Chains A and B, each alone.
Chain A
Amino acid sequence: MSTPALKEWPLWEVFVRSKQGLEHKHCGSLHASDAQHALQMARDVYTRRQEGVSIWVVPSATISASEPNDKGEFFEPASDKVYRHPTFYVIPDEVGHM
């Protein structure tokens, strides 16, 4: 063979922006041979019901993630510190909904 075939296509994470002004949101992942291929497949899989106006694809391997085992030291210390939420202010009526 002139070019060895890829036995397994790498995984890509797909982010779709639903309309102008909103952020791109993670909506799933897919296997594709390269970025262009991943974009096209994301278009066909994730935007065929008018879900988006823009797509990002990111190689899953380039994402660094927190470890599930670190949950205790990472996230639990915040659970008893409700004062970090700005819920103790009185909002004047004129401001309306915030």
Chain B
Amino acid sequence: MSGQSHTRSLRFALLTIPVLLLAIVWLQTRIDVDTRTIAQEKEELLVRSAPLLKKLSLGYESLLADIYWTRAVQYYGTNVMLPGHKFELLWPLLDITTTLDPKLIVAYRFGAIFLSEPLVGAGRADLAAQLVERGVAANPDDWHLDADLGFLYYWYLKDYEKASAAYLEASKKPDAPVLMKMMAAEVAAKGDSFAASTAIWSEIFETSQDPAVKKNAFQHLQSLQAQQDLLALDKYAEDYRQRNGRYPATTKELYETGIISGIPLDPAGIAYVFGPDGKAQLDPKSPVILDKAAKRSPR
């Protein structure tokens, strides 16, 4: 008897459960439509205090950091598709992620990209630099973060001094490629910090065992020397113009008027020349190659 009753209730369950499930799914779709018309779902970050979240995590802050990082990636990925995206929650999400797990290097590196990119990101390179600086402080042995910081200062913030310092810092860290030191020198030169750039390239030249790196450093040192000479000659040419009403055609003219005490030669031993606009130039025969960054604006 009880066997029959069991079979009956089993049959009843098998019949009714799928029907009820279908009804529930249908109902949910209706509810979704209604709630969408009531209010647009807005992304919110209920707790913005990272230290508070860390306390509330009861020791599971690493896992929570992974969740917040995934949320940040999803937030970026969703918003980047929208026209006129603003990424208002990006910084708080990254702030929380990196406070919960200061060793989550991927969050600093990709987070900085999301924050700094002007077209497909928040366009906040200042916040990106702040984020990466925190990463550097929390992960002092990781050269990638210093390199990223150098890039942010160089490319977006145009602070060549800080960029050079960041690249130089990266070069001192374990496993950093020699390229970091080169970048430091390159960037310092772009910012007209000849002394810093020369010092770094000289060190690379003296310490590197790689002939190609050595040759590259030598060329940069020659370029730096030439750049400094050209800038000085430009000033002398201006003095010459004020006295004579025209720019000098050769360095010899400067020498003859007593503005300079000798004929300056470039690192290859060839005299500099002046262009029609009165700007000092390398002689076209000179083998010295100027860095692209060293190009000066015409008068």
Q: Does A associate with B in a complex?
A: no
Interface residues of B (CB under 8 A from A): none
